[in-house]
Amino acid sequence: MEFGLFVQGYVPASRARTDPEAEHHALMEETEYVIQADRSGFKYAWASEHHFLEEYSHLSANDVFLGYLAHATERIHLGSGIFNPLAPVNHPVKVAEKVAMLDHLSGGRFEFGSGRGAGSHEILGFMPGVTDMNHTKELWEETIAEFPKMWLQDEYPGFKGKHWELPPRKVLPKPYGASHPAMWYAAGSPSSYAMAGRKGLGVLGFSVQKVADMEWVVDSYKTAVKEADAVGGFVNDNVMVTSTAICAETHKKAVEIAVGGGLNYLQSLLFRYHDTFPRPDGVPEWPELLPEYTEELVELLIAEELMICGDPDEVLGQCRRWEQAGADQLSFGLPIGIGYEDTLTSIKLIGEHVIPKIDTDPVHRTTRFRQAAGGS
């Protein structure tokens, strides 16, 4: 199992009230987290693309963010988690160009994650007349298979669909090196995993909450991917899942950090905006918040495998549970509200004590797929 980091430009109101430059500091700190993750042996860093989601995510221009990180890092693969390829949001050709450019700037380290947006607040900002959120599926389905054609064919023969069109053109630049960047899909519902598998796409499993959820994810995805009719140049047989992670020198310290991190506020914002995700029982409607975290609640979340939290040995054991359950990649959505130094400490401790004991392959899984497709 490989390891990743997920950042999103989280700027809670509580921070903005005490820091007039909170937005700037949050974005700059998150670049530092990725740089440290690169030094600490993480293989992937994912950056969100969200629009209009106040507090929850101010990372809208993630192509710019990742372009900076392409120069500031050496080994870590940089992924769009996601680039939104729906024509009303980003013209598909512009997305193809950005992917290829980032592939060059990173020296072949780019990962192309796509998806359909966070929920109605975001989607309706670009498509105000839409009444059915499933409409975005139609736009995405129409577009996703066109990207490899733009990258791999000398001249793209053009496209005339229901939602966008383009005459024959050479789409430049072409990706760097063999084939093209690995393709992923951000899955928010059970049926999405099998769909991604059938298309040969890796899954960015942001909807998996705990280890027990992996059973249906692995079964549905791995069964489908065996019979994949890949939309790209190769099958990216990959299930990535995300989990909150806090690692400290002692269990007591880790729990203290979790209790003081305002995690209930971040989770409440998630369900405020991701209204197309399944809503668990007991989650209140915004602006009502989930209960504040207590030591007892944090211990319960750890016991229920809903949070990775503890000293390095405990975190190692918790990560092994994800590995045993079949995850190909575990990406940490670090609770960035815990503070800059505590976040860096988590990254460093995981890099020193956890990753070397689980991920012993020096080569990225996606690199192996891509090189095989390119004949190298």
Please spell the DSSP secondary structure of 220-250, one letter per residue. HHHHHHTT---SSSS----EEEEE-EEE-SS
pLDDT in the model for residue 121:
95
**Mean pLDDT of the 77-88 span:** 98
Residue 61 CB neighbours (<10 A): 13
The residues near 344 (Cβ < 8 Å, ≥ 6 apart) are 32, 33, 36
State the pTM of this model.
0.97
pLDDT in the model for residue 213:
86
Mean pLDDT score across all residues of the chain = 95
- If DSSP codes are grouped into helix, strand and coil, which group holds residue 280? coil
Single out the residue of 337, 339, 273 nearest to residue 50, CA to CA.
273
pLDDT over 90 (residue 244) = yes
pLDDT in the model for residue 191:
83
pLDDT in the model for residue 3:
98
Beta strands 183-186 and 110-114: pairing type?
Answer: parallel
Give the length of the chain.
376
184 alpha-carbon distance from chain centroid? 9
Tokens coding 178: 């063999």
Single out the residue of 198, 184, 182, 222 nearest to residue 367, CA to CA.
182
Beta strand segments in 212-364, E: 239-243, 245-247, 308-310, 329-332
26 or 216, greater pLDDT:
26
Tokens coding 347: 């990254």
Single out the residue of 42, 110, 45 nearest to residue 359, CA to CA.
42
The residues near 147 (Cβ < 8 Å, ≥ 6 apart) are 85, 92, 95, 96, 99, 112, 180, 183, 231, 232
pLDDT over 80 (residue 277) = no
Q: How far apart are CA 126 and CA 289, in angstroms?
A: 28
**Mean pLDDT of the 65-80 span:** 98
Span 11-23, pLDDT tens digits: 999 999 999 999 9
pLDDT over 80 (residue 347) = yes
How far separated are the first and last CA of the chain, in Å rounded?
A: 23
Beta strands 202-205 and 183-186: pairing type?
Answer: parallel
Tokens coding 69: 């990180």
- The domain spans of the chain are 2-373
Domain 2-373, CATH number (from 3.20.20.30, 3.30.565.10, 3.40.50.620, 3.40.1710.10): 3.20.20.30
pLDDT over 80 (residue 278) = no
Span 112-146, pLDDT tens digits: 999 999 899 999 999 998 988 889 999 999 999 99
